[in-house]
Amino acid sequence: MTDPQSPISTLKFESLAVHAGTQADPGTGAVMTPIYQTSTYAQVDVGVHRGFEYSRTDNPTRSALQTALATLEGGRYALAFASGMAATDTLLRLVKPGEHVVCGNDVYGGTYRLFDKVLAEYGLEFSFVDASDLQALQMALRAETRLVWLETPTNPLLRLTDISMAAEMAHRAGAWLAVDNTFASPALQQPLALGADFVVHSTTKYLGGHSDVVGGAIVLNDEAAYERLKFLQNAIGAVPGPQDCFLVLRGIKTLALRMERHCINAVRVANFLEEQPRVAQVIFPGLVSHPQHGLAQQQMRGPGGMVSFIMAGGEAAARVVARETRLFTLAESLGGVESLIELPAPMTHASVAGSPLAVDAGLVRLSVGIEHADDLLSDLAQALQKAGE
Ligand code: P1T
């Protein structure tokens, strides 16, 4: 838990990113949090321990990461998980059979799969709506609605939802608002301050930042919900190992710097793509052509590093571009220092095929990295050229 009395709570985000959760190791003075690679802890007497008894329940490296995550999201509590999906699954255990969840209709394919193909079988009801349309969101709320689940920006269409308005609506209906903040990261947007009850992350992405770890997190303020989720974290056991926690902690230290460069490069890439005749549409919250550009400027400190676009030549042209880039690696995932390219329809969103959430087969998604923008533009130019041959 972040101590509001601590001098750290007055620091600016960039400084928090470097220092939150990390203290010189009391035993050795080690500046970086040690990787406490242990499953268990010696007890002083039967049932008497030094704060740690078993690493599923608590581990010092995980505790440091949890403190850092809570601090960066401006929350009181954070819980770390083995993946973004593990975090999502654990949070959804707060919803009981017979209760209802309203979910945005543009979300990570795996989130849809978990809701529609797994949790629906246990009696949870889901409605998928365009959450960028507040009226549609309002209409979907029912007496049994317990949770509203949003991504903003969404994966892969980069739609936004006004978080404050959505929180107000959810609360009036007696529901919680959970925001999956993976695409923005806390460097660009802190949903708890805007009224959300839970922030969820795939720490695999911008928080980790180096495509070398899979992890997830929940951040929140409410003590009773925290106690329940902490119980569930231990009872279900989808926890990250200490080395993975260390990697996310290390990534977080450069989050502010990395996000700055991701945003600058993504603006260059989006502007370049808008001028390309083989590109039918560029989707990026930083472009004035984005229908929610105004909301992006108001709600986010930067437009983010994700750019999506639809090829005029449809799926065939999209496949050529994805195959032909050299600096942009053809791969799922996002948020690492290196640029990635993928086609959501057959890759990250294959599980929404045939559903109302299905995405355009000509859609290309870029995770713009921190390389030199000139190199990224040259790479895209040569790949687009091949798509026209
Ligand atoms: O992969 P995992 O750490 O379990 O996180 C799942 C997840 C949750 N939320 C969002 C917004 C995500 O984008 C993801 C994972 N997404 C990808 C792997 C992807 O390429 O879109």
| DSSP secondary structure string for all residues of 123-162 | T-EEEEE-TTSHHHHHHH--TTEEEEEEESS-TTT-----
Say how many Å lie between the CA of residue 155 and the centre of ligand 1: 9
Phi/psi for 12 (5° steps) reads -75, 160
**126 has which bridge partners?**
101
Confidence of residue 325 (pLDDT cuts 50, 70, 90): very high
Architecture per CATH, domain 255-387, reads as Alpha-Beta Complex (3.90)
- Residue to mutate, 83, 161, 205, ligand 1, most ligand atoms under 8 Å from C-beta: 205
Q: What would the pLDDT profile of 220-268 be if each residue is shown by its tens digit?
A: 999 999 999 999 999 999 999 999 999 999 999 999 999 999 999 999 9
Say which amino acid occupies 193. Answer: A
Active site residue 77: no
- Which residue's alpha carbon is nearest to atom 20 within ligand 1? 333
* Distance, CA of 234 to CA of 254 (rounded, Å): 30
Please give the pLDDT value at position 5: 52
- Is residue 8 scored above 70 in pLDDT? no
Please give the pLDDT value at position 10: 87
Q: Give the rounded percent of residues in the chain with a pLDDT score beyond 70.
A: 98
Confidence of residue 6 (pLDDT cuts 50, 70, 90): low
Please give the pLDDT value at position 165: 98
Task: Tell me the pTM.
Answer: 0.97
Looking at residue 118, the DSSP 8-state letter turns out to be I
207-212: average pLDDT: 98
Q: Which residues line ligand 1 (CB under 6 A)?
A: 83-85, 108, 110-111, 151, 155, 180, 182-183, 202, 204, 214, 216, 332-334, 348
Q: What would the pLDDT profile of 264-311 be if each residue is shown by its tens digit?
A: 999 999 999 999 999 999 999 999 999 999 999 999 999 999 999 999
CATH of domain 11-252: 3.40.640.10
- Is residue 4 scored above 90 in pLDDT? no
Say how many Å lie between the CA of residue 84 and the centre of ligand 1: 6
- Residues 6 or more apart whose CB falls under 8 angstroms from that of 205 comprise 84, 182, 183, 185, 333, 334, 335, 336
- Is residue 7 scored above 70 in pLDDT? no
Q: Where are the domains of the chain?
A: 11-252, 255-387
Catalytic residue among 62, 205, 250, 319: 205
- Is residue 1 scored above 50 in pLDDT? no
158-171: average pLDDT: 98
Q: Is 211 left (phi over 0), alpha (psi -120 to 50) or beta?
A: left
Q: Write the CA distances from 47 to 41, 54, 57, 218, 333, integer angstroms.
A: 11, 12, 14, 29, 43
- Is residue 3 scored above 60 in pLDDT? no
69-87: average pLDDT: 98
